[in-house]
Each structure stands twice: as C-alpha cells, then as structure tokens.
Amino acid sequence: DAMVIQNPRYQVTQFGKPVTLSCSQTLNHNVMYWYQQKSSQAPKLLFHYYDKDFNNEADTPDNFQSRRPNTSFCFLDIRSPGLGDAAMYLCATSSDLDNEQFFGPGTRLTVL
Amino acid sequence: QQQVKQSPQSLIVQKGGISIINCAYENTAFDYFPWYQQFPGKGPALLIAIRPDVSEKKEGRFTISFNKSAKQFSLHIMDSQPGDSATYFCAASNGAGNNRKLIWGLGTSLAVNP
C-alpha cells in the first residue's frame, strides 16, 4: 500500500544533542511537509518542499533544518534540541494536483 | 491571528447521537476545506473535504455543510459511535503549487459515551 513512513516512531535525545528524523513516501508526491504537534494542539507547519524548492515558515527556529535528497525521502534535523522541542513530529505529502495531505504516523521526540 | 476558528474545544455525545463541530474562516480566497481525524499517538487522517462550489458533502455517517456567504463550515457525525472518539481538526487552504498549505483550526476533542 502506498504510504508515508516515519522513522523512528519514538526518539529520545539529550538536551543539545543533534537528532535526525526521517520520512519516506511511496506515493510519489512532489510536496513534503514537516509539522510539529504538541499535546492538545493543532499541527504547526515548520517547512515544506515543493520538489526541491525549500519553503521555510517565518516563525520556524533556525535550530530546525531539513533535507530532501530525492523525491521519496525527507529529513528533519534538530541541531540542538531544547526541552521545548519535545513534541510529535509529523511528515505529510501531497500531490501538486490537489490539496489533500497524507500524514505519516509521526515521531514522538523526548528531550531529556 | 487565528484564520480558522473552531468550536467547541471539546464535545461529549451519547452513542447514537449527532456530533456537530463548527468552523469559521476569514480569508475568502480559501478554496479547500478538509476535516482531519486524529487518534492519540497517530497522525491526522483525512476524513472528508469540500470545495466552495457545493454546499454539502456526505460520506457515510460524516457530512460537511458549507455556507460560503457566512464563511462557515461544519462537520456532522450521525449515529456517533465510541470508535469516533478522537480529535477533529478543520482546516482551510488556498494558493497553488509552492504556496499551498493548510491553515488549521485548534481542534475539537470528541468523546462518545457508550
């Protein structure tokens, strides 16, 4: 089945220790999104790729970076995680033919 | 500034009842209005979506009602079941290509009592 896969599902890191979250998709969608979702809140868009074009949200901290080496994969790098970065990180994809976004299961990040 | 306002924040319904969640938007350029369902520890999943050229869309027990003049849309869940207990988000989108992104409501936590 076509899907959005996120690894790992759970990630524990230490304060200030860089961490990388990964997302892959078999939908062949050209748009990929990274969201941060904290408890009882709506997903907050961090950035998205339209093909290889990177689009950063104005309020996304510099601590968050992303890479998209090919159509199928996208990575979220948190350079120096703080306690406030503990959250669920969601990857989503969409086709440029419509607005529907397909979400992965998320990675739950814990910062100790 | 909250561009999509969702209410209520939480909702408790008895099994078999009707759950109604409302959203209002400001930007008349929005042209796509989805509802997402999210269970704890899972990613959001698209439930149903509507475009402004229709006033209602029904899929099974789920119906979106859309009022373009009032800039409001709502989700109705008929015959609500305990398995419907989840958080529901409305959203709106405009733009195309590189500028397309969803503007989210704050969510409604629905509990359906057996």
Whether the pLDDT of residue B1 is over 60: the answer is: no
Q: Do the beta carbons of residue B4 and residue B25 sit within 8 Å?
A: yes
- Give CA–CA dist B97/B75, Å, rounded: 27
Q: Do the beta carbons of residue A43 and residue A104 sit within 8 Å?
A: no
Q: Is B107 on the interface with A (CB under 8 A)?
A: yes
pLDDT tens-place string over residues B50-90: 998 999 999 999 999 999 999 999 999 999 999 999 999 99
Closest residue to B98, CB basis, from A55, A100, A108: A55
CB pairs under 8 A between A and B: 54
- Give CA–CA dist A2/A25, Å, rounded: 7
Residue A96: per-residue pLDDT: 78
Query: Phi/psi of residue B97, each to 5°?
Result: 55, -125
- Which residues of chain B lie closer than 8 angstroms to A94, CB-CB? 100
Nearest CA-CA distance, residue A106 and chain B, Å: 6
Taking an 8 Å cut-off on Cβ atoms, the answer to whether A99 and B100 are in contact is yes
Residue of A nearest to B107 (CA): A42
Q: What is the mean pLDDT of chain A?
A: 94
Give contacts of B 53-72 with A, CB under 8 A. none
Closest residue to A42, CB basis, from B43, B45, B107: B107
Nearest CA-CA distance, residue A80 and chain B, Å: 24
Q: Is B46 on the interface with A (CB under 8 A)?
A: yes
Residue of A nearest to B90 (CA): A42
Among A97-101, B22-26, B30-34, B95-99, whose mean pLDDT is lowest? Answer: B95-99
| Distance in angstroms between the alpha carbons of the first and the last residue of chain B | 38
Confidence of residue B94 (pLDDT cuts 50, 70, 90): confident
Residue B112: per-residue pLDDT: 97
Whether the pLDDT of residue B33 is over 60: the answer is: yes
- Beta sheet of A64-67, edge-to-edge order: A4-7, A19-25, A73-78, A64-67
